[in-house]
Structure 1
Amino acid sequence: MNSVNKTATSAPSLPEGIPDASVSMIGRQAILNERREVYGYELFDRSTAIDAHTAASDAAMLFNALSYAGTEALVGRKLVFINCTHESLAGGHLELIHPDKVVLEISTLGENVTPNEIAACIPIFESLRQRGFRLAFDQNLLRRAYVNWLPMASYIKLDMLTFPIDNAQALVKFARTHTIAQIIAEKVETQAQFEHMHALGVKLFQGFWFARPDVVQAKMVRPSQATIMQLLNLVRSQSSTAEIEELLKKDPTLSFNLLRFINSSGFGLSCEITSFRHAVMILGLKKLFRWAALLMTTSRAGGSAPAVGQTAVVRGRLMELLATEMLPPEESDNAFVVGVFSLLDVILGIPMEKALESIALPQSVAEALLHRTGPYAPFLELVLACETGDEVTFARNSDALHLSNHQVNWAHLQALAWADNLSSDNG
């Protein structure tokens, strides 16, 4: 028996001057080749119950793994296998990583799935493959219903606990005949299982016989939510690289997160980035916004990812969309700030007046946030009515702004979709 990485790994110490960190629990199990050398690592989110994985938790786990200061200790330069829900495959977080570094593990859809549901997945898989991602599937891929998925597979995982060992040869032969996928024998628990699959020509293995999963306590350093939202606003208003660099210089936590993320193995750069300006130029505004939004919405409090950050982003985008048709561009940007900052007191756990003391905001923005007065107040009241279903307030403010129900509802749907995908059209 060959033991690989059986002990838990603790996070390295943080640089001097960096404030407190939250901890993300990341499970890791090695995938080995026939010589029992590490080929890659499958990562698991140990901070979320197995049956509670969502697109948001998938994004958080991958983001935390790549942003972790000890990424090299976590996976080195090996491949990373990440379990994905089908909903998360369209997430903007996947655009932040280098596809050569990550294999997306995708489950089949269960027993009662319809042919239309199976067919609907194919364009998503094709798009991911065109971007360079490799896809891994479980052995149910070999069932007749999934014949059209077979060309998409780069890996097929055969679960040794789900079939008699005598059936292995037929499964391996079928997979080799109908796909170009590499086969991984997983949940290998005995030497006999390993030797049998090795004799069939299988070259990749995973299971307790080699190594039990270990748990890495990844310390995630979090900037203040206020600083992240300042960065979001700078990016949304397409500020200059110099302005963004100035904010990064003022907040060592924010700049620390950005540099360690862009230099992680998942980002795929061949040289180390040490300049804030270079980091901003490499990422570009679109990816920088996604990164900042992920940093905000995956911050953890009390062990669970708060919905408040996501709600703030939705409010900001909805206010911006509603204001765009009625106000000049600069005022539309201010409307975005009002929406995003409208939960600042909840996020920071202090009164709004106190929260705004450290942030230089236009008077009209502050009036809307503190007193619900000024030109942005009707937009904010309308957005809050959308959330709560307050029909009276909705009608009063939509009439005052000369907006139809259709216009508001359509903008709300757009804002929700935009925030869910953590994407930005920069316009």
Structure 2
Amino acid sequence: MEAAEATNLAIIARQPIVDAQRAVYGYELFDRTTASDHHTAASDAALLFNALSNAGTEALVGKKTVFINCTHESLAGGHLELVHPEKVVLEVPPLAGEASAEDIEGRVATLQALRQRGFRLAFDQQVLRRPYASWLPLASFVKLDMQAFKPELAAPLVQFARAHSQATLVAEKVETAEQFQRMADLGVTLFQGFWFARPVLVQTTIARPSQAITIQLINLVRKQASTAEIEELLKRDPALSFNLLRYINSSGFGLSCEVTSFRHAVMILGLKKLFRWAALLLTTSRAGGPPPVVGTTAVVRGRLMELLAAELLPPEECDNAFVVGVFSLLDVMLGMPLEKALESVALPDSVTEALLHGKGVFAPFLELTKACESGDEETFARLAQELHLTNRQVNWAHLQALTWAESLDEAAA
């Protein structure tokens, strides 16, 4: 676990929830990034945020339903505004200790509000007890812990749950064929437990943005800055823009189309959700990662490509040129092959063609940009001629890109 803390790894365990034919219905997720088993509102937020943003939902759970354990504190957290309700089931625990009827009733309004927003709620078998009668109609799932009751109580519990709720029943902690068969014979349709599969650790590399830039983003949003100002800030930190595109295109966000530009992402997300996202990004990020010079080089590449593209391509292509330059060093920033890094973010074909295959409209701009870095005069001259750019145009753009990057470093200091 200490190694995970020292790197950019998020470690999330997932355990499948299956039907009687063992087809996967969904996955319950558990945070394994830190050594602490302490379950808090902050850890809930971090788990959900990493699962749906940093970790890349497609790699973690695909299109399946996500089950997330919650504390009652986290149920009121703003991080839930960043989630498409149809994708997530919130597992709600009973109140600790011998909770009073007043305390139990006091939670109903919060649970009802979550249901009205479209979230499905899952409870354990404690919700079948008399004190929790007001919670039971709100249940979309009731999870029956096979280790928590005697075999002869299975039928009465199932019958009671069916009589007093519309919930789908899940037999959890199923460890033997006999337990599975007993619950299947009672009509239970979903199962979870070691007999089917143990939790599997999924490690994913996270791009850590500059905390200073993230704070600036939060401040811009609080001041209700323009979309153009926010877009300009996003261009300062490759990891920040990478995470935003990956998050907004994750299945957890629930869009039906892919978002490939920063401006489009900001407009769709809106200031309120952008603030929540940036705040969570700040609180869940950790130290470590590549040296700052890598990010600076990536930003210079992006700005130089943007300026060069502006000389020859339509305005709408300049943003894509910037993305090519910035993301051309993702393999270094994430410590993985570029092809694998790009799997978790939606990009136009013209961008991926340039990045992965050195082909397409942006490829010569990227090659020219790299030649500017390396001082390869022969390649520089050849590509400038191919693009019908003068040495003066390229050198002036490079100087502007370097100056722009330096000004961003000063602003972030």
TM-score by length of 1: 0.66
1:64 lines up with 2:115 in the alignment = no
Letter in 2 for 1:185: A
Task: Summarize deviations over 1:125-182 as a string: whole Å, max 9, x none.
Answer: 0000000000000100001111111111000000001111121000000000001100
What residue identity is the alignment partner of 1:360?
A
Residues 1:94 and 2:80 are matched in the alignment = yes
Question: In the TM superposition, what whole-angstrom CA distance separates every residue of 1:60-93 from its partner, at most 9, and x where no partner exists?
Answer: 1100111135421210000000000000000000
Question: What corresponds to 1:116 in structure 2?
Answer: 102
Q: Which amino acid aligns with 1:184?
A: V
Residue 256 of structure 2 aligns with an amino acid whose one-letter code is S
CA contact (8 A) 2:9 2:33 kept: no
Q: Report the CA distance between 1:248 and its aligned residue.
A: 1.4
Unaligned stretches of 5+ in structure 1? 1-10, 12-19, 303-355, 367-427
The structure with the larger Rg is: 2
Q: How does 1:382-401 map to 2 (within 5 A)?
A: none
Q: Unpaired runs of 5+ in structure 2?
A: 289-406
CA distance in 2 between partners of 1:357 and 1:247 (Å)? 9
Deviation at 1:47, TM superposition (A): 2.6
Aligned partners of 1:122, 1:50: CA distance in 2, in Å? 30
Q: Displacement, 1:359? A: 3.5
Give the secondary-structure state (helix, strand or coil) at the position aligned to 1:250.
coil
- Asked whether 1:128 is paired with 2:179, we answer no
Structure 1 position 43 matched with structure 2 position 29: yes
Structure 1 residue 48 displacement after superposition: 4.2
Range with greater deviation from structure 2 (131-140 or 230-239) = 230-239
Q: 2:228 aligns with which of 230, 242, 246?
A: 242
Matched residues, number: 292
Shift of 1:59: 0.3
Query: Aligned pair in 2 of structure 1 residues 187, 83: CA closer, same or farther (>3 Å)?
Result: same
CA distance in 1, matches of 2:179, 2:287: 43
Q: Structure 1 stretch 186-195 or stretch 41-50: which is displaced more?
A: 41-50
AA partner of residue 38 (structure 1): V
Structure 1 SS opposite 2:409: coil
SS in structure 1 opposite 2:411? coil
- In 1, the alpha carbon distance for the partners of 2:274 and 2:408 equals 26
Greater relative contact order (CA < 8 Å, ≥ 6 in sequence): 1
2:62 corresponds to 1:76: yes
Matched, 1:218 2:204: yes
Matching of residue 230 in structure 1 with residue 281 in structure 2: no
**TM-score normalised over the length of structure 2:** 0.68
CA RMSD of aligned residues (A): 2.1
Counterpart for residue 358 of structure 1:
409
Distance 2:183 2:36 in 1: 28
Residue 277 (structure 1) aligns with: 263
Aligned residues: percent identity? 68
Distance 1:71 1:62 in 2: 10
Aligned with residue 284 of structure 2, among 298, 301, 305 = 298
Question: Contact 2:236–2:408 (CA<8 Å) still a contact in 1?
Answer: no
Correspondence list, 1:151-300, <5 A:
151-300=137-286
Secondary structure of 1:221's match? coil
Q: Provide the rounded CA distance (Å) in 2 between the counterparts of 1:184 and 1:47.
A: 27
Shift in Å at residue 22 of structure 1?
A: 1.3
Q: What residue identity is the alignment partner of 2:242?
A: F
User: Is the CA contact 2:247–2:253 (under 8 Å) kept in the aligned structure 1?
Assistant: yes
Amino acid of the residue matched to residue 411 of structure 2?
A
TM superposition shift of 1:246: 1.2
Superposition misfits of 4+ residues, deviation over 4 angstroms: 48-51
